[in-house]
Amino acid sequence: MNYPNGRKKSIPLHGSDNQTKSSFSNRGMTLEDDINATNTYYLEMNKAIIHKKPTPVQIVKVNYPRRSAAVITEGYFKQASTTDYNGLYRERYIDFEAKETKNKTLFPLANIHEHQIKHMQSIVNHGGICFLIIRFAVYNETYYFPAEKLFSYWNDKLDGGKKSIPYEKIKLDGYLIPFQYQARVDYLAIIDKFYF
């Protein structure tokens, strides 16, 4: 292709090696993107209504450099957030937190906060379905990890035990969610097996 500056640029042909490597490496993007795409698919297929919870923020200062552009320059979280997602599926309340780690051998419990654990315990006590979705980015593996399993690791940490969950334990106590085209993180398939 010729550009006005006289330089030529070659465009890789469809299916070329570079294009294939690029699209494969970016297929997952981020865990949040994958879950949002999955939830949109669930909604469009009328399968479930699951949404990302907005983070409550108090805007304090706004700068108006020009009429058409406002820039928030100062803001504060109004309150501690609970979990990332909630909604309804087959007349059951769903509530979960999504976490991604680059660690190869463990999931640090520092990624979860005490107020989130209390919230998750309350959901479970009221009959809701509560869990973590954990992605090990290094392996490109995503796991459904039940909140009930998380609580024992959390309590062990509070009693002076390990401050993390070993990768092998997540593989053992959790459920691998295979990557798919439309429902990229099809966590409802896991819920169907164990709740319905």
Binding site for Mg(2+), residues? 82, 84, 97, 116
Largest separation between any pair of C-alpha atoms in the chain: 70
Instruction: Please enumerate, by residue number, every residue annotated as part of a binding site.
Output: 82, 84, 97, 116
**Sign of the dihedral through C-alpha 11, 13, 16, 22:** positive
Amino acid identity of residue 86, one-letter, is N
Write down the residue that tokens 């593989």 correspond to: 171
What is the C-alpha to C-alpha distance for residues 116 and 131, in angstroms, rounded to an integer?
11
Pairwise CA distance, residues 184 & 178, whole Å = 8
Nearest-angstrom CA–CA distance, 73 and 167? 40
Closest to 134 measured CA to CA, from 94, 164, 156: 164
